[in-house]
Homo-oligomer: A and B are copies of this chain.
Amino acid sequence: MSIVVQKYGGTSVADIERIKYVAQRVTRAYDQGHDVVVILSAMAGVTDHLIDMASQASQDPDRRELDVLLATGEQTTSALLAMMLKSMQYPAASLMGYQADVVTDCEFGNARIIEIGGGRIKELLQKRNIVVVAGFQGCDIRGNITTLGRGGSDTSAVAIAAALKADVCEIYTDVDGIYTADPNICSKARKLKEISYDEMLNMASLGAKVLQIRSVGFAKKFNIPVHVRSSFSDEEGTMVISEDSGMEQLVVSGVTHDKNQARITLKKVPDQPGIAAKIFSPIAEAGIVVDMIIQNTRAEGQTDLTFTVPTGDYAKALALEKRIAEEIGSEDVFGDENIAKVSVIGVGMKNHSGVASIMFTTLARENINIAMISTSEIRISCIVEEKYAELAVRVLHSAFGLDAE
């Protein structure tokens, strides 16, 4: 008998009928003899509806109170599933974040889990209950309701799985697994049987929005196998596991693209200590996340500096940098919104040379110019013109032998 944690996303609990379907799947695992803990999201659309309501109440809703409001979404689905299970004659109980001892910091709206007691969950499991835990929510040490940010239910699930030393954390979603590329733009993309935590971390941050990235970090830290699968079929999905677990290590496991990127260049920046801080501190203070930073050497004690930000923050960042450029004596500031980041990811890269070379040659063959390059141990990313993003993904997918038969 093993402990199985199942997490169902918003589309899987979108209405009463869907929740009934979830109840059937949950009881099937229970009937197989597993201890089952279920983590639920709010019904699809409900969180947005609540945020809309809050914005009618206040132009800038207080974050503590917004969390109190948002937490009702998962409370609703959890209560509904638990009452359904009970009417099917299964012992079940719902627990809110605070009841399940999901203790977080005080960062309302984007809280981080500090620890999960899990005592109440374990006690209920010992009595062979199905335990339904409201995802996305926790409480701080003072008992205030907190929420974990968009996709936070994934993190709830993995963290609870870790606290219970669960055998597997199943993430039921509206896709059937992790693909080698976005099937919408690459028809030859195929589902991966396995992927490592590190690859998934790179996938998630690069735009494959299947799992909240924080949940993958948790899974890696506590070595919890995460099974990403569809709530609409019985097919096996993709296992996210440790690369030490004997998994097949592909040189490249996936090709991702992210069009939500914009580039800003400061030309002829004086090459002095402290300049980078002057350029990036105001951006950080404005809450803008900088992704890639490239600094080119130039003659005469000057340098060109280029970085990328999310498209939504482009205008704000550009305005900030124009002010800064004047202060530090940079010659010019210009930017480009029509860019995309294309990346190849694979743990096998660590032991294979030539991946970068294949990537650059493949893009060159299609006359796709590379504007910026950044690399990590298991990833190579190139900034290209936005209009080439799809083509780049397809040709790289073929070049690295990922195409489905």
Contact = CB atoms under 8 A, between A and B. Distances in A.
A143 interface: yes
Given A56-B16, A57-B16, A86-B58, A69 B80 contact: yes
Contact of A66 (B20, B78, B79): B79
B66 A83 contact: yes
Interface residues of A, number: 39
A53 interface: yes
A94 interface: yes
Contacts of A68: 75, 78-79, 82, 94, 96
A76 B72 contact: yes
A102 to B, nearest CB: 13
Contacts of A251: none
Given A79-B66, A143-B99, A57 B84 contact: yes
B61 A87 contact: yes
Contact of A69 (B79, B86, B99): B79
- Copies of the polypeptide in the assembly: 2
Nearest to A64: B93
B75 A54 contact: no
A59 interface: yes
A390 interface: no
Given A75-B75, A76-B72, A65 B83 contact: yes
A62 interface: yes
Contacts of A120: 143
Interface in A221-252: none
Contacts of A16: 53, 56-57
Lowest 7 A-B CB distances belong to which pairs? A58-B87, A69-B79, A68-B79, A65-B83, A72-B72, A62-B86, A65-B82
